[in-house]
Amino acid sequence: MFDLRARLIALHRFLQAQMFYPVVLSSLLGVAFFVVRVWWTDSTLHRFLMWNLFLAWIPFVCAVWMVSMYRRRASAWLYIFPSIVWLLFFPNAAYLVTDLYNLQNMPPVPFWYDIGFFATLAWTGLLLAVASLQIVQRMVKQSFGVVWSWFVVLIVVGLNGVGIYLGRFLRWNSWDVVTDPLAVLQDAIAPFLHPIAYRQPVAIIIVFSAMLFVFYVSVLALQRESSQ
């Protein structure tokens, strides 16, 4: 009995350290918004948001998977698959912010209700992005130091902006990197090779990269204040 209690306490502390409870609570609120909306209208309109929420959870699950292996001192090759999946699907988290593009007044549901619905999912996506990136940064910091950990953060945040541009505006999916890698790579590097001709894509990448970075460091600052 004591061993079970100790294991549950250890699991609780592990999940707490990964921001598991906030992202679950926020996700459940978003799902609740959707369920009430379906009951209210007898329609599954906006069901794509639930799919996008599912995709946003993939990088977080991969990050938790990796940190659990890290704690067990697993072999380096075991990280290859979850780290690749994490990186490919990472933009799907902050991508939920761009779903605000679909927000419009659609009676009989009041506009204020859908504002709450979309805003909750946007917030959830940012939380999932921050939580999974923080997990990875901690592992890199413990293995290679602070400088390398922030280098990884900057690279991932920049790739996040590229991923959102590819997904929202060019309609590529994460798995297209596997099915059509050359075409995705061509679209990804084009704004960097021809920044003048691709002024809007460059601006999109900068805006969403900066947004995630500011949100990330803000959450870190709040965490440090609360721990003091």
What pLDDT digit, counting tens, does each position of 126-181 carry?
A: 999 999 999 999 999 999 999 999 999 999 999 999 999 999 999 999 889 889 99
Residue 130 near residue 19 (C-beta atoms within 8 A):
yes
> Concatenated DSSP letters for 96-133?
GGGGGGG----TTS-HHHHHHHHHHHHHHHHHHHHHHH
Beta strand ranges found along 85-189 (DSSP E): none
Structure tokens at 68: 């659990």
Sign of CA dihedral 22, 26, 32, 34: negative
Q: Which tens digit of pLDDT belongs to each residue from 166-200? A: 999 999 998 898 899 999 999 999 999 999 999 99
Structure tokens at 66: 């990796």
Q: pLDDT-based confidence at 225, cuts 50/70/90? A: confident
What confidence score (pLDDT) does residue 4 get? 82
Structure tokens at 195: 């920044």
Q: Which tens digit of pLDDT belongs to each residue from 3-24? A: 888 888 888 999 999 999 999 9
Distances (CA, A) of 31 to 23, 25, 47: 12, 10, 10
- Collapsing DSSP to helix, strand or coil, 19 comes out as coil
- Collapsing DSSP to helix, strand or coil, 181 comes out as helix
Residue-averaged pLDDT of the chain: 94
Q: pLDDT-based confidence at 117, cuts 50/70/90? A: very high
What confidence score (pLDDT) does residue 227 get? 74
Query: DSSP letter at 198?
Result: T
What confidence score (pLDDT) does residue 131 get? 97
